[in-house]
Amino acid sequence: MSIGEQILELLKYTVPALVVLIAATVIVNKFLVGEYKRKQLAVFQDGQETTLRLRLQAYERLAMFIERAHPRELVPRIYVSGMTVRDLQTLSVASIKTEFEHNLSQQIYVSAQVWNTIISVKEQEIAMINQIAQDMNPDADAKELNARIINFIMTREDATPTEIALEVINNEAKKVMYQQA
């Protein structure tokens, strides 16, 4: 057998083997890449669902904070018989600040607009309580402060900070839900 025949004989077996090897490599590669992309998509979708759930929970918690910081909810929750104006003022301000600090982490899930609205409401509620209490005898019965706060809220013609904040939160939560749908 000559060298040419030996090479031809060798090529007869190696060329088909190389073709099969290349085809198998391409098929396996496409399969693995496809599987990898499917897994990435599944992880992304799971992440989207988790993010949506966390964002909606943040809106819920911030809406609850806004409601709890409003004097009509705050005063009955913290009032104790025998309190003075100073006591109620101090406890109200401290309660709003504590409640706010408890919800600080929610800012990472909401827009800057919502978060700035939350800060504004907190500051406005504290300022309102302090301003009304400032014009009163600090040792007077806390019921007087409560009555003046309620009167102030009831006589406002414009929307309260609480109403505005709840609308902002509600609108953004709806946008987030519709984007995910």
> Domains in the chain and their CATH numbers?
3-180 (1.20.120)
Angstrom distance (rounded) from CA 152 to CA 149: 5
pTM, rounded to two decimals: 0.72
Q: How far is CA 155 from CA 28, 132, 152, in A?
A: 74, 14, 5
Determine the angle formed by the axes of helices 142-154 and 112-134, rounding to 10 degrees: 130
Angstrom distance (rounded) from CA 146 to CA 76: 9
pLDDT in tens, 116-126: 999 999 999 99
pLDDT in tens, 118-162: 999 999 999 999 999 999 999 999 999 999 998 998 888 788 888
Which residue in this structure is represented by tokens 């104006």? 85
